[in-house]
Amino acid sequence: MFNLLLSEPVTAASRRAPEYEEQVRRAAEREGRRTRRRCERERNDLLSSHLDGMSSDDEIADQQQELSVTTMTQIESQSVEAFEDVTDDFSKIELILIKFFAWRKTDMSSYQDAFVSLCLPKLLAPLVRHELVLWSPLLDEYEDIENMRWYQACMLYASQADETVEQLKIDPDINLVPALIEKIVLPKVTALVTECWDPLSTTQTLRLVGFINRLGREFPLSGTNKQLNKLFESIMDRMRLALENDVFIPIFPKQVQEAKTSFFQRQFCSGLKLFRNFLSWQGILADKLLRELAIGALLNRYLLLAMRVCTPNDAINKAYIIVNTLPTVWLLPNSETLKNMELFIGYIKQTLENCDASNPIFM
C-alpha cells in the first residue's frame, strides 16, 4: 500500500479537482433552475414581487433526486423479496387477523386470558413496518395511512354491523390501530425528521405540518404520549440545528451594499424563509419554545441585525414581510410575543421617524 502511494504521488490540486468539478456542476444546476424559474416569473409578470432566496431552487439537486429514485427502486425490489418464501397465512395481515378473530369468536374467555389484545400490535409490527418501508410524509406523493392494507384490515378487525357504542367501549381490541400508530408510525416519522427533513425546505415543512395536524385530529394522541413527545423533541432539535448551520447573513457597511439580487439579499431571504417555516409549526409546537427560536434567536439575532445595515426603504419592506408572516394570535394586545419583539418594534419606529418623505431615497 505504501509503495503504491509512493509510486503515484497525489498533489493537492489533483485531490481538489473532483471536488471542484462537483461544486461547479452543482452550481450550474442551481443556476439553470434559477434561470428557468426567472423566465417563468417574467412570463407571469411576477418578477417584481419575487424575493431571490425564498423559492425552492436549492432544495433538491438534480443528481440527488436521481440517486434518491434509484435507491428507492432498489429498496422496493428488495422489500418484495422479503416474504417470498412465506405463505400468505403468515405474511398477510388480513389473513392473520381472520385466525385470531375465529379464536376470539369461539372462546372469548381464553382469548382475553392469553392477553391477545396486548400481543397483537407487537405481532403485526413487522408486517406494518414492511408496508411502510417506502412511505414518507415528506414525499411529493405518499399514500394516506387510511388507504393502506394494514390500516383497513386492523380497523375492521372484530367489527360487527350491529355493534353498539357500549360494546365498543369494552372491546379489548378497540385500541389496536392507535397502538400501531404509536408504536410504528410515530417512531418512523421521528426517524424521518431526524435523518431526512430539511427545515429550510418549505415544501417538506408544509407536508410534515399537514400530516401531523391530520394525525392529531384523527387519532387519540395526547400530550403525554411518549412517542409523540419524542417526535416534537426531534422537530425542535432539527430546527435548532438548521438555525446554527443554515443561517449565514454577511453584514456589510451600507455604502457597499449591492443591488437587490446581491448575495446579502439572497442570504437574508433564505433566513426569512426559515423564519416562515418555523412559524408554520404554530399551533403544534408550544408557543414559548417557538418564540425562543423564531423571535429570540432567528429574528433578533440574525434578521434584525441584517436589517440595520439596509437602506430605510429596504428595511421597511423587509419588516412588512416579517410582520405579515407572524401568526395573528401573536399580534394581539398584551401578547407575550410583543414583549419578545421589543427590539424589532423599536427599530421600526426609529426607522420610520428617520425617514424623510421629501427625500427621493425613501420614495
Place of cell 456542476: 25
Q: Is residue 158 part of a domain?
A: no
Half-sphere exposure for 306 (CA within 13 Å, toward CB): 23
Q: Is residue 314 part of a domain?
A: yes
Q: Is residue 269 part of a domain?
A: yes
Give me the number of domains the chain comprises: 1
* Full pLDDT tens readout for the chain, 363 residues: 333 333 334 344 444 455 556 656 666 666 666 666 655 655 554 334 455 556 554 455 566 667 777 777 888 788 888 888 888 888 899 999 999 999 999 999 999 999 999 999 999 999 999 999 999 999 888 889 999 999 999 999 988 877 788 888 888 999 999 999 999 999 999 999 999 999 999 999 999 999 999 998 888 777 788 999 999 999 999 999 999 998 888 776 654 555 445 778 888 899 999 999 999 999 999 999 999 999 999 999 999 998 988 888 888 999 999 999 999 999 888 888 888 899 999 999 888 887 755 455 544
Place of cell 434561470: 35
Burial class (CB in 10 A: 0-12, 13-18, 19+), 199: buried
Q: Is residue 349 part of a domain?
A: yes
Q: Is residue 282 part of a domain?
A: yes
Q: Is residue 276 part of a domain?
A: yes
CA dist 138 and 300 (Å) reads 30
β partners of residue 285: 282
How far CA 121 is from CA of 157, 222, 286, in Å, comes to: 12, 19, 31
Full domain range(s) for residue 326: 247-362
Q: Is residue 295 part of a domain?
A: yes
Place of cell 419592506: 317
Contact 299, 311 (CB under 8 A): no
Q: Is residue 344 part of a domain?
A: yes
